[in-house]
């Protein structure tokens, strides 16, 4: 079987060919088989269980490969991935390292850069972790660059926590001010009856700003208020 299976067709042809060639060449040189399998969806199955079933069905942990196999399964719709590791590769690719590659390289870069860079970067990191001769010689980098890979050989940086907090606070403040502005109407009692003066009527949009001390009160008296009106208050 080919080392790259792209059922949803998310990879561009150049990147797909480059990855397929790199994985095939790595297996030829080292005897280590790396398979990248992309699927549209889990179809309701558990990603880890699905990866194990494929690993066994494709005999990647058999005596033919001496357990020197790695299977990376990615489900496009759910944005979930799992790496299955053969018994012959557990020493050089521990489970925690595989999880780190998925979370820091595949998922994080996928959100910021798209599938071509994310999957190219993930395969490159796998080859680097396995100390592939293709990485040491620079062949892997040249092949991926020729296929359109751009940017550094590192995952997208995380957004600082303070930036998320600042954005959340700003959004919350804007929402609260908008609600306050929309609800800060006055009830007036006049010879025409009781009515509510909305913030956007006759300059009353300034009222929240006046209450907050940002503007000074210069609101004109509405012409339709009769002299019989005596009181007004917040509604």
For the ranges 160-164, 198-202, 214-218, the one whose mean pLDDT is highest: 214-218
Q: What is the CATH number of domain 4-146?
A: 3.10.310.50
Which range, of 30-44, 163-177, 220-234, averages the lowest pLDDT?
Answer: 220-234
Count H helices and E strands in the chain, helices first. 9, 7
| pLDDT at residue 193, as a whole number | 56
Question: How confident is residue 149, by pLDDT bands cut at 50, 70 and 90?
Answer: very high
Asked whether residue 50 carries a pLDDT value surpassing 90, the answer given is yes
Q: Contact 109/156 with Cβ under 8 angstroms?
A: yes
Give strand ranges (E) for the chain: 4-6, 33-39, 69-75, 80-85, 186-190, 193-197, 232-234
How many CA atoms are closer than 13 Å to the CA of 160, on its beta-carbon side? 3
| pLDDT at residue 114, as a whole number | 92
Asked whether residue 30 carries a pLDDT value surpassing 80, the answer given is yes
Q: Which tens digits make up the pLDDT trace of 93-122?
A: 999 999 999 999 999 999 889 999 999 999
- Among the listed residues 55, 50, 17, the one whose alpha carbon sits nearest the alpha carbon of residue 35: 55
Q: Contact 88/106 with Cβ under 8 angstroms?
A: no
- Among the listed residues 46, 156, 165, the one whose alpha carbon sits nearest the alpha carbon of residue 108: 156
Q: Which tens digits make up the pLDDT trace of 164-196?
A: 476 667 777 777 666 655 555 555 555 555 555
Quote the DSSP letter at residue 219: P
* 13-30 and 115-129 helices, crossing angle to 10°: 10
Domain spans, the chain: 4-146, 161-234
Asked whether residue 15 carries a pLDDT value surpassing 50, the answer given is yes
Q: Which tens digits make up the pLDDT trace of 115-141?
A: 999 999 999 999 999 999 999 999 999
Give the percent of the chain with pLDDT over 90: 61
Q: Can you give the pTM of this predicted structure?
A: 0.69
Q: How far is CA 133 from the centre of its chain?
A: 32
Q: Contact 8/38 with Cβ under 8 angstroms?
A: yes
CA distances from 206 to 96, 124, 171, 184 (A): 58, 58, 21, 10
Identify the H or E element spanning 134.
helix 133-136
């Amino acid at each position: 079987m080919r080392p790259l299976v792209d059922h949803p067709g998310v990879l561009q042809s150049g990147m797909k060919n480059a990855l397929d060639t790199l994985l095939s060449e790595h297996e030829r040189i080292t005897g280590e088989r790396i398979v990248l399998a992309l699927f549209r969806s889990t179809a309701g199955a558990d990603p880890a269980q699905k990866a194990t079933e494929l690993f066994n069905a494709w005999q990647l942990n058999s005596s033919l490969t001496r357990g020197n196999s790695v299977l990376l399964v990615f489900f496009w719709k759910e944005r979930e991935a799992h790496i299955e590791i053969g018994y012959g590769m557990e020493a050089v690719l521990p489970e925690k390292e595989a999880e780190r590659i998925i979370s820091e390289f595949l998922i994080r870069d996928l959100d910021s850069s798209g599938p071509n860079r994310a999957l190219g970067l993930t395969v490159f990191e796998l080859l680097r972790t396995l100390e592939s001769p293709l990485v040491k010689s620079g062949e892997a980098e040249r092949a991926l660059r020729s296929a359109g890979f751009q940017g550094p050989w590192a995952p997208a940086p995380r957004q600082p926590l303070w930036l998320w907090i600042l954005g959340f606070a700003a959004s919350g403040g804007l929402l609260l001010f908008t609600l306050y502005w929309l609800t800060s109407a006055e009830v007036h009692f006049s010879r025409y009856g009781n009515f509510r003066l909305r913030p956007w009527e006759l300059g009353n949009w300034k009222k929240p700003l006046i209450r907050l001390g940002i503007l000074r009160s210069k609101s004109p008296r509405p012409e339709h208020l009769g002299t019989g009106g005596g009181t007004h208050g917040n509604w």
